[in-house]
Structure 1
Amino acid sequence: MPNRPAAGSLRLVLLVAGLTQLAACASGGKAVKPPPSTSVNALYAQLDQASQSYENALQQTRAGDTQGAQKTLDGALDQLKEASAHCGTTPGCDPQRFFSVFDHLLRLKDGSFIGDETPGEGEDTGETSEVSVPAQAGAAGALPEAQRAVTLLRGHQLSELIAMNGPVKAALEMWLTQWRGNLMDAYVNYQYLRQEMWPQYQQEGLPEALLFGILAKESGGKVHAVSRSGAAGPLQFMYATGLRFGLSDQDGFDTRFDPAESARANAEYMDEQLKVFNDNLELTLAAYNGGEGRMRRLVGDDTSVSFYDPRIYGQVSQETRDYVPAVLAAAWLFLHPDSYNLRFPKVDGLTGSITLKRAASISELTVCLGSANDMPDGWFRTLRNLNPRLDPQQEQPVGAELQVPKLLEQAYAARCVDGPWPILAADLHNAVVPVYPDPPPQEADPVVHYTVRRGDTLASILHRHSGCSSESEVARMNNLKFNHIKVGQVLKLPSCR
């Protein structure tokens, strides 16, 4: 529509005006005691400069310089990050001013500043997205990186639905620290599954970041993952729920393990529950993890209630309390990695295929491919994910076709058809392991009990009563720290036989 750029520009003016007010509030609040120092005022000036950069980016957008505007936006965020770092070490500086503006700018960056695709009032937002997807989205090469800009969820900016509260911030820290390796693995795994999974989500009008967040938390992108409760597949469907959305056994294969089918079922589930909970994303995620029946009973008719309301948050399991912010935090990092000092690896996830020139299993192919194309962890997980119906230990015959990353087609021809590597792989794979019946269970060694007396040490006790064991063994048996014992304490000692 020819008038849409003007409408988009008007929305940008309003956004910048709001941002300017926010920065003004940050600098011009009530009197502060003591007055800000020169250093603090200089940092607050950088805050204002970052806000002014958005006005400059707006002018660039109006002039048609979209790339220049994006560069200006990124520079403003970098300026904020640098200033906020100095704020933390400058007496009298309020870091919260920077955090609030930084969070606000990230939300503006999510498609609501550059371009004119944000839905305006009165527009039909039922199927709106910021980047159109080709009709045959599953075809090779049809999913460019730019489509990660799609952040709309049923007419809402995804970033508007992610409250940057305590639980989400705590989850962000976990993904950036203890779970960082899991996040990276999930990202790499997802890149090779993207062509199968993302089109299913796009068809339901759901954002890719949400798909990644669920995948990262549920399975880490391991297609054959099975939980202790029986949930299975990359998106961890319980059997009964999977059946309700068309996931069943097909010729002995559980389609919960099929990435495309699992993503389709998950997208349909999310769409169904978003309607039930009036587009409340947090409640929908809680239903996915804790059961929709339970969430409907807790929520009742008030679908506007926050997941973090004590009436809801206090009644769900700790697993669900952790699950919802963890998914949202992973989705947020998918959208804004650079803003959290996070760099995802560059992965060419384009899928190709090979026709076996000699019989081989997935395990054998993994050995002969080695670390081809700089894959330090090898290709076992990727080959399994792309061929979910195959037993990785089962040798496939000559002429069988396997799905592989496109970049491995040449590596297969060079490494796995002739030469020493396929011979080595076959030799290892065909190794014979002796099989013996399990030995009968042995009776547990009996123990004796000894009550510590005054003057006892662990060494003296062992010398008198259990010369066949060591101090470290007895310390482990009794959970002793630094071999410390107390008078009256009852110790378990091995009985020598």
Structure 2
Amino acid sequence: MPVIACLSRISVFLAGLALVLVSFDAGAISQRDQAAVDAITQRMEAAEAGYREALVKIGHADPSGSADADRALEDMEDVVASCSRQRGCSVTGLLTTYKRLLKLNADLEADDDLLDELSSDEIGHHMTSFAQDVPEAARAAALLGADDGHEFDRMVQYNPAVQEGIRRWLTDMRGAFLTSYENYQYMRHLMWPQYERAGLPEALLFGIMAKESNGRVHSTSRAGAAGPMQFMYATGKRFGLGDDGTGFDTRYDAYAASEASVSYLNERMRELNRSIELSLAAYNGGEGRALRVYQGSGGKDFWHQDVYQQFPPETRDYVPMVIAAAWLFLHPREYGLSLPRLDPKPAALRLEQPASIYQLTICLGNRGVREGYMRALRNLNPRYQAEDWLPAGTTLRATTRIVGLYKRQCVQGPRAELARELVASDAGQAIVRTGPVTALGPATVATAAAPANAKPATTTKRRYQVQRGETLSSIGRKFQCDTSELARNNGIKPPRYALRPGQELSLEGCKAGS
């Protein structure tokens, strides 16, 4: 199911600065306070200069431009926070800066060639809005209620249903929120660009993903919704998702699911007067229902009783919970929410030896991350199950930190050996069996006595009978098989890889038992 991406940091402040302005003290200030105000002003000027330079890099396709822009925007956030606490600091002046930034973004969006034509000084002159690296900040600010009079502004900031959602995310669901945030950071480079290009806010992308799947790409509901954005099969197929010809369902792919969700949301927004609430209601409760309710109500908003009561309880809960997650994504400090610091810079990991994601998870450890790297590796490589035996030379999506840890701890040494031993372990070998020893049968003896140049006899070594409780993955580990290849050779369809006790499998391509 679809989503809407990054409510830009600038637009966030535009929505929240009104609260700061109420407490602004314009009276006389001391020399000490004035010195602090001057220092804040200098910091803002430096941040603007940094952002200006980042725009030049972006205009020349320099990959470091986006990171530099992010740093500059983070500096601006810190400056605004400092100003709000400093007596005599004019938050209204910072608001003017943000409005200028929003204007530049609109100009750049109207003319894609403008970035290439502007010099650093000219960008400084036009520095009145976000640029290409920020998703339609003007529209995002409007969605957050920048003096446009929409109900959305009051709903996000003051609606008790959204406030209840925030309370739930901050109490019994805090762990789920933080897990969602961690998972999203690793996948951000795959998901966010689609929303950015479409002008959809990132915070809403995060909110939907957090509510739908907690950022687990292999999540599948009982109703059949699948992937990080939880597309139903038929809906996903309409937007290009499904079997890619190899047996892999692209609903589980973060990039493809994000791209489809953009198309879905834009379609809903066009139908529903760009209403975020109704688009979310359609996402969860069905697009046909949402359109009928909207048209039948004469265009009333989601929170009107005539509209609200026509959606099922699940949808009435879903809409405010998504918005609450998005709001916390934008305003973590306000709620005392410390978001985990990660190092998600993407990098390619080429396996030097056969391994599984389970094995890598063990040898990588969890230094710097609470729960280790299994979820990150699975999310970034959705085609592989955690138990799949991956041959040497396989290239996985990873991060620079994971690649560094792999080279230090997973190729050789005690941690690498321990990981290999643990994933190869078979609980069945722990059982002490008693009873008569079975004698070798004629076929076995004949095979053992055959001359070296004789053609091998057909034996049962290349086939295996499934035992109760076994899965395709556990069998793959036992015989060192690539699980995907094992499934293909035996006509077993993903993603469930269902087996039945007594089923006979071909072990063609497996290392052990051959």
Same fold by TM-score, threshold 0.5 exceeded? yes
Query: Residue 429 of structure 1 corresponds to which residue in structure 2?
Result: 423
Query: Residue 202 of structure 1 corresponds to which residue in structure 2?
Result: 196
CA RMSD of aligned residues (A): 3.9
* Counterpart-to-counterpart distance in 1, 2:19 and 2:423: 65
Query: Residue 265 of structure 1 corresponds to which residue in structure 2?
Result: 260
Q: Displacement, 1:178?
A: 1.2
Give secondary structure in 2 for the equivalent of 1:403: strand
Give secondary structure in 1 for the equivalent of 2:98: coil
- Measured against aligned partners, the alpha-carbon deviations of 1:29-75 in whole angstroms (never above 9, x if no partner) come to xxxxxxxxxxxxxxxxxx3529999xx89x959x9566798556313
Q: TM-score, normalised by structure 2?
A: 0.61
Q: Displacement, 1:114?
A: 2.5
Residues 72 and 369 (structure 1), Cα distance of their counterparts in 2 relative to 1, 3 Å cut: closer
Give secondary structure in 2 for the equivalent of 1:114: helix
Q: Indicate if the aligned counterparts of 1:278 and 1:303 stay in contact, CA closer than 8 A.
A: no
Q: Indicate if the aligned counterparts of 1:218 and 1:236 stay in contact, CA closer than 8 A.
A: yes
* Counterpart-to-counterpart distance in 1, 2:133 and 2:321: 20
Q: Displacement, 1:248?
A: 1.3
* Counterpart-to-counterpart distance in 2, 1:337 and 1:149: 20
Residues 113 and 284 (structure 1), Cα distance of their counterparts in 2 relative to 1, 3 Å cut: farther
* Counterpart-to-counterpart distance in 2, 1:412 and 1:21: 47
* Counterpart-to-counterpart distance in 2, 1:178 and 1:383: 27
Query: Residue 80 of structure 2 corresponds to which residue in structure 1?
Result: 73
Q: Displacement, 1:297?
A: 1.0
* Counterpart-to-counterpart distance in 1, 2:379 and 2:311: 33
Residues 19 and 219 (structure 1), Cα distance of their counterparts in 2 relative to 1, 3 Å cut: closer
Query: Residue 249 of structure 1 corresponds to which residue in structure 2?
Result: 243
Q: Displacement, 1:157?
A: 2.8
Residues 420 and 341 (structure 1), Cα distance of their counterparts in 2 relative to 1, 3 Å cut: same
Q: Displacement, 1:302?
A: 5.5
Give secondary structure in 1 for the equivalent of 2:181: helix
1:380 to 374, 381, 385: 374
Query: Residue 49 of structure 1 corresponds to which residue in structure 2?
Result: 25
Note the 1:94-493 alignment, pairs <5 A. Answer: 114=98, 116-119=100-103, 150=135, 152=137, 154=139, 156-160=141-145, 161-162=152-153, 163=155, 164=157, 165-250=159-244, 251-300=246-295, 304-372=299-367, 374-434=368-428, 437=468
Q: Displacement, 1:126?
A: 7.3
Q: Displacement, 1:200?
A: 1.1
Q: Which amino acid aligns with 1:311?
A: D
* Counterpart-to-counterpart distance in 2, 1:112 and 1:180: 35
Residues 256 and 158 (structure 1), Cα distance of their counterparts in 2 relative to 1, 3 Å cut: same
Q: Indicate if the aligned counterparts of 1:280 and 1:304 stay in contact, CA closer than 8 A.
A: no
Q: Indicate if the aligned counterparts of 1:286 and 1:295 stay in contact, CA closer than 8 A.
A: yes
Q: Displacement, 1:353?
A: 1.5
Q: Indicate if the aligned counterparts of 2:135 and 2:195 stay in contact, CA closer than 8 A.
A: no
Q: Indicate if the aligned counterparts of 1:148 and 1:208 stay in contact, CA closer than 8 A.
A: no
Q: Displacement, 1:158?
A: 3.4
Question: Which structure has more helix as a fraction of its residues?
Answer: 2
Q: Displacement, 1:394?
A: 1.4
Q: Indicate if the aligned counterparts of 2:353 and 2:392 stay in contact, CA closer than 8 A.
A: yes
Q: Indicate if the aligned counterparts of 2:135 and 2:199 stay in contact, CA closer than 8 A.
A: no
Rg comparison, structure with higher value: 1
Give secondary structure in 2 for the equivalent of 1:249: coil
Q: TM-score, normalised by structure 1?
A: 0.63
Q: Displacement, 1:388?
A: 0.5
- Measured against aligned partners, the alpha-carbon deviations of 1:135-160 in whole angstroms (never above 9, x if no partner) come to xxxxxxxxxxx999657474653322
Give secondary structure in 1 for the equivalent of 2:347: strand
- Measured against aligned partners, the alpha-carbon deviations of 1:94-138 in whole angstroms (never above 9, x if no partner) come to xxxxxxxxxxx99x98x8752513359xx7897799xx99xxxxx
* Counterpart-to-counterpart distance in 1, 2:108 and 2:294: 26
* Counterpart-to-counterpart distance in 1, 2:225 and 2:183: 19
- Measured against aligned partners, the alpha-carbon deviations of 1:219-254 in whole angstroms (never above 9, x if no partner) come to 111010011111000000000000000001011000
Q: Displacement, 1:337?
A: 1.0
* Counterpart-to-counterpart distance in 1, 2:318 and 2:408: 44
Residues 153 and 380 (structure 1), Cα distance of their counterparts in 2 relative to 1, 3 Å cut: farther
Q: Indicate if the aligned counterparts of 2:218 and 2:252 stay in contact, CA closer than 8 A.
A: yes
Percent identity reads 40
Q: Indicate if the aligned counterparts of 2:135 and 2:196 stay in contact, CA closer than 8 A.
A: no
Note the 1:27-42 alignment, pairs <5 A. Answer: none
Q: Which amino acid aligns with 2:197?
A: Q
* Counterpart-to-counterpart distance in 2, 1:51 and 1:128: 43
* Counterpart-to-counterpart distance in 1, 2:24 and 2:238: 53
Query: Residue 476 of structure 1 corresponds to which residue in structure 2?
Result: none
Q: Which amino acid aligns with 2:25?
A: Q
Q: Displacement, 1:173?
A: 0.8
* Counterpart-to-counterpart distance in 1, 2:96 and 2:234: 40
- Measured against aligned partners, the alpha-carbon deviations of 1:424-447 in whole angstroms (never above 9, x if no partner) come to 222221222338658xxxxxxxxx
* Counterpart-to-counterpart distance in 1, 2:200 and 2:379: 23
Give secondary structure in 1 for the equivalent of 2:342: coil
Query: Residue 89 of structure 1 corresponds to which residue in structure 2?
Result: none
- Measured against aligned partners, the alpha-carbon deviations of 1:269-305 in whole angstroms (never above 9, x if no partner) come to 0111100111111100100000010011111166742
Q: Indicate if the aligned counterparts of 1:127 and 1:205 stay in contact, CA closer than 8 A.
A: no
Residues 323 and 152 (structure 1), Cα distance of their counterparts in 2 relative to 1, 3 Å cut: farther
* Counterpart-to-counterpart distance in 2, 1:222 and 1:346: 19
Q: Displacement, 1:348?
A: 1.6
